[in-house]
Structure 1
Amino acid sequence: MTGVNADDFDFPDAEGGVHFEHLNGADLYFEVIGDAQNGEAPVVFLHGGPGYNSYSFQALVAERLTRSAVYLDQRGSGRSGPLEDTEQGSDTLDLDTLVQDLDAVRDFLGAEQIVPLGHGFGALVALEYARRHPTLTARVVVVNPWVHFPDLARTLLEEASARRGVAFTDPADEVRAATPEGQHPAVGGARIEAAFALLNARDLLNALQFRDQATRMRLEFTDAEGQLIGGGEVQEALVNQGLWEFEYPPFLTELRRPVFVIAGVHDRTSYPEQVQWVADLADADVTVLDAGHYPWLDDEDAFAEALEDALNR
């Protein structure tokens, strides 16, 4: 259900409830639980994907949070409005825009500070918001972050090669040699293209992200309850913006707010390489759980405890 209409909802005040607001040039869906103006920085959940939604996290975790929280479907994703076509093409969708959207939500709620809680790709938005707006950020929490996409593409290609029983061949050197001087070699794009040529994206990510089949089925069942599909437009837009070439680690050294990482040891898209970037360069505190990419699915109690610790320590 993408591109919902504002007439579908009744709008309460900013203290709580469902919102479908036109902010920063986009129609954004978010749900607020609790009072975002009570003086304690609310948690703002930033889903991954890219192009996923906040429904499953809210459905499975919301009751365990002890402070006000905002569950945002990011621009073009989930129940937020679709990306719109302009004279220049599709809506701009990049990290700058997603960070601006987040601050527009904070401003709408009247919150002096927020705690960005980013999952997977959403970790980029959380970290960049904290970097740009340290005075508006109480702390930042990321769950199984993705911060270095050429490295992630290499991980995916290694797994696809192993599952197909073929020798791993990294196209990076060939791409660099063929790239004219002064231009950026599209190493990440070449790696991910080779990976998805060996194994489709869904099967590849499932193999790397889930601890077991029961966890994957639980997520699919929750998604089906939410009746939310889509995300392809967002993924395509970000790929066109050079997503697979994006390397965030140099910016991690500029963070001036406390950073906490919750990692699932069975999520090989994030642990250990992606997590290590954040731990080393942002001086982050890391908690590792016996879980996959969605740790609240594997051990709800352990995840809730880790999140409570990250929010209050």
Structure 2
Amino acid sequence: MTGLNADDHDFTDFGDVHFEHLNGADLHFEVQGNPTTEPPVVFLHGGPGYNSYSFQALFGERIERPVVYLDQRGSGRSGPLEDTEQGADTLDLDTLVGDVEALRDFLGAEQIIPLGHGFGALVALEYARRWPTRTARVIAVNPWVHFPDLARTLLEEASARRGVPFTDPADDLRAATPDGEHPPVGGARIEAAFALLNARDLLNALQFRDQASRMRLEFADAEGQLIGGGEVQEALVNQGLWEFEYPQFLTELRRPVFVITGAHDRTSYPEQVQWVADLADADVTVLDAGHYPWLDDEDAFAEALDDALTR
């Protein structure tokens, strides 16, 4: 499908709606403002496999510059992962970054500002590393960059909530793994964590400052009527997501990096944030918020985002 012309645009409260075949996938994205007048913000949701709707609906009006809300391949309103030219079995970080570059090219923007949240921050950072001349700056909100460490955090929390001693399977697994092979430490940790507590309850416990914020997000999700994302998560896990360690690549970033994090988001703060701060020389702003800081203190998040966009 080719780009829409002015007569074909579907105008909604959010802006121009596009459903385009880019980089082998049918991608849904919405554009506010003219992305060729200045580098547009490209919002990259987390999950993996979530969508951009709730951020757009709850905070979009506060961004006073061109912005693009992308539902990544297989997620939200984009086409099913199994219908992509690459197929579900090949989904990886390189493919997701390629989608962002195809989007930039479609928009006709010389540069973009990737704004990534959670897992989406990983996509944003890798795009900036891969395409530094096409990145004005990169903003990571509660980033995830070291997945074995994240799995350990989840296992620690699950153990505490179940009232059982924390037992890390890593040492035994490493001892049992033949030389030259990589022990699947992250996978073992996450399997043990989810055996103690289901994934949703565990993530809710770690990510939200209070119940009111969680309910507000759930209401937005219900309003958007978007479900799914499981196939994206499964595809990335099959590609070794829980063993992935990105910190070694952070030293290669050559664009300004800004991190906005919530002190109550224990999936990201402080360990994951510290990797980015130390190795990418990132500027870090810590808010009294959780994983979705625009839910807890919209004004503080708006101020931090404006600072990251303009400094």
Same structural fold, with TM-score higher than 0.5 when normalized by the shorter chain: yes
Match of 2:66 in 1: 68
Q: Distance in 2 between matches of 1:89 and 1:169?
A: 37
Q: Distance in 2 between matches of 1:189 and 1:59?
A: 34
Q: Note if 1:37 corresponds to 2:47.
A: no
Going from structure 1 to structure 2, the CA distance change for 1:31 and 1:174 (only over 3 Å counts) comes to same
Instruction: Report SS of the residue matched to 1:286.
Output: strand
Contact 1:11 1:18 in 2 (8 A): no
Match of 1:6 in 2: none
Match of 1:266 in 2: 264
Provide, for residues 156-208 of structure 1, a one-character-per-residue CA deviation record: whole Å limited to 9, x for no partner: 00000000000000000111111121111100000000000000000000000
Match of 1:152 in 2: 150
Instruction: Report SS of the residue matched to 2:111.
Output: coil
Instruction: Report SS of the residue matched to 2:307.
Output: helix
Aligned-pair CA distance for 1:149:
0.2
- Of 40, 50, 53, the residue aligned with 2:51 is 53
Q: Note if 1:212 corresponds to 2:235.
A: no
**Aligned Cα RMSD in Å?**
1.6
Going from structure 1 to structure 2, the CA distance change for 1:85 and 1:226 (only over 3 Å counts) comes to closer
TM-score, normalization by structure 2: 0.95
Name the amino acid aligned to 1:12: H
Q: Distance in 2 between matches of 1:116 and 1:89?
A: 25
Q: Note if 1:12 corresponds to 2:9.
A: yes
Aligned-pair CA distance for 1:92:
1.8
Q: Distance in 1 between matches of 2:220 and 2:233?
A: 22
Aligned-pair CA distance for 1:12:
2.0
Instruction: Report SS of the residue matched to 1:31.
Output: strand
Q: Distance in 2 between matches of 1:169 and 1:290?
A: 31
Contact 1:83 1:91 in 2 (8 A): no
Q: Note if 1:238 corresponds to 2:236.
A: yes
Name the amino acid aligned to 2:275: W
Provide, for residues 53-74 of structure 1, a one-character-per-residue CA deviation record: whole Å limited to 9, x for no partner: 0000000111101100000000
Provide, for residues 215-242 of structure 1, a one-character-per-residue CA deviation record: whole Å limited to 9, x for no partner: 0000000010000000100000000000
Count of aligned positions: 302
Contact 1:99 1:129 in 2 (8 A): yes
Aligned-pair CA distance for 1:87:
11
Aligned-pair CA distance for 1:32:
0.2
- Of 173, 183, 198, the residue aligned with 2:196 is 198
Name the amino acid aligned to 2:19: F
Contact 1:140 1:257 in 2 (8 A): yes
Q: Distance in 2 between matches of 1:304 and 1:281?
A: 26
- Of 305, 308, 311, the residue aligned with 2:306 is 308
TM-score, normalization by structure 1: 0.94
Segments of 5+ residues of structure 1 without an aligned counterpart are 1-9
Segments of 5+ residues of structure 2 without an aligned counterpart are 1-6
Name the amino acid aligned to 1:233: E
For residues 21-170 of structure 1, what are the structure 2 equivalents within 5 Å? 21-38=20-37, 40-84=38-82, 90-170=88-168
Of stretches 90-99 and 263-272 in structure 1, the one that deviates more from structure 2 is 90-99
Contact 2:24 2:86 in 1 (8 A): no
Match of 2:295 in 1: 297
Name the amino acid aligned to 1:41: P
Q: Distance in 1 between matches of 2:55 and 2:88?
A: 28
Aligned-pair CA distance for 1:11:
4.4
Match of 2:221 in 1: 223
Q: Distance in 2 between matches of 1:270 and 1:36?
A: 30
Contact 2:24 2:85 in 1 (8 A): no
Percent identical residues: 87
Provide, for residues 272-312 of structure 1, a one-character-per-residue CA deviation record: whole Å limited to 9, x for no partner: 00000000000000000000000000000000010000000
Q: Distance in 1 between matches of 2:271 and 2:154?
A: 13
Contact 1:210 1:292 in 2 (8 A): yes
Q: Note if 1:252 corresponds to 2:250.
A: yes
Instruction: Report SS of the residue matched to 1:19.
Output: strand
Q: Distance in 1 between matches of 2:215 and 2:85?
A: 42
